[in-house]
Amino acid sequence: MMYIGRIFFLGIFFFPFSCFASPIDTVKNWGYQLQNIQAKDIRDAKHDLIVIDYSPDGSDENRFTKQEVAEMKKDGKLLIAYLSIGEAEMYRFYWNSQWESPKQTNCLKKYFNTLHQSYDWKNVCPKGNTGLVGEKNPDWDGNYSVKYWEKEWWDDAIVPYLNRIYSAGFDGVYLDLVDEYEYWSEKGMPEKKLADDMAKLIWKISLLSKRKMGKDFLIIPQNGISIIRVLGAKWKARYFSAIDAIALESLFFDTTKRERITRLLILKEYQKRGIPIFVVEYSRKKYLSRLLSRIKTYEKAYGISIIPFRAANDVQLNELYKPLRRK
């Protein structure tokens, strides 16, 4: 797998990135586990790349040490740390109780009204009630939509979280909830501005990471692939330059054929830029042959290459299944 036509943005200049080899070029399979993580199991796993939480139980106190991370990847595998950038998780070290307060609802309404009338993105909430989070995710306890464009989110959550990932020696970050811009768009905010701000956040993460850790530190967003259809020219170029791969969930199962085709056509745009495509499917083992058959069929039909992983169909990601080795 080669990087073709990739560009890297630094300051105000674009540099071709096709001449540089990337550690992700050799990845042929991967794994994904966020719960019940055992360092020994990760160490013994035979995947080329594994995405895990930076902590075995999500807490900052028990986060993996640099020595533990080095031990887990001593056979040469790439170890990538999960990071939610579109939702705030109240069990994380950065959580501020003021983000969720009795006055939050009124604050958010005032924010929406102000934005809708004047497109003023300044936070209008009173001091002591930042209104940084929106509604609770009904499917994941303790998760809240977050105003990811706010400086407070960058300063108090993203940067401190990244610094922990850097110091532990992970090889990259796996950025989840990229599609959260759609949630805020449904609240009446301008979709293009929201998409641009999400791309800006990912671009800033990439710049900071590669400056601190080097160009081989990997940036892998999950989902939100259609953001490239919404972005303005400037942020579309910067978004593509910022990422080293793209990942998404449930491309072949739990989706309609029409949705699948739409997503495959979008993925072709990533493929044309030499961006590897990772897919996680939540399915039972008895459907494995069907999954592999679908992947082969659609790869041929759409001229793309996919690196798949099968996880348990309960979507809990509490077990690391064996890597899918394809002929």
User: Where does 7-94+145-284+298-311 sit in CATH, by number?
Assistant: 3.20.20.70
pLDDT tens digits, the chain, 327 residues: what are they? Answer: 333 344 444 443 444 444 468 999 999 999 999 999 999 999 999 999 999 999 999 999 999 999 999 999 999 999 999 999 999 999 999 999 888 754 444 555 445 444 444 334 344 454 444 579 988 999 998 999 999 999 999 999 999 999 999 999 999 999 999 999 999 999 999 999 999 999 999 999 999 999 999 999 999 999 999 999 999 999 999 999 999 999 999 999 999 999 999 999 999 999 999 999 999 999 999 999 999 999 999 999 999 999 999 999 999 999 999 999 876
Asked if 73 and 39 touch (Cβ cutoff 8 Å), the reply is no
Q: Cα angle at 2 between 54 and 201, to 5 degrees?
A: 40
Ordered DSSP codes for 106-121: HHHHHHHHHHHHH---
**Contacting residues for 316 by C-beta, under 8 A, at least 6 apart:** 35
Domain limits of the chain? 7-94+145-284+298-311, 97-131
Question: What's the whole-model pTM score?
Answer: 0.88
Element (H, E) at 21: none
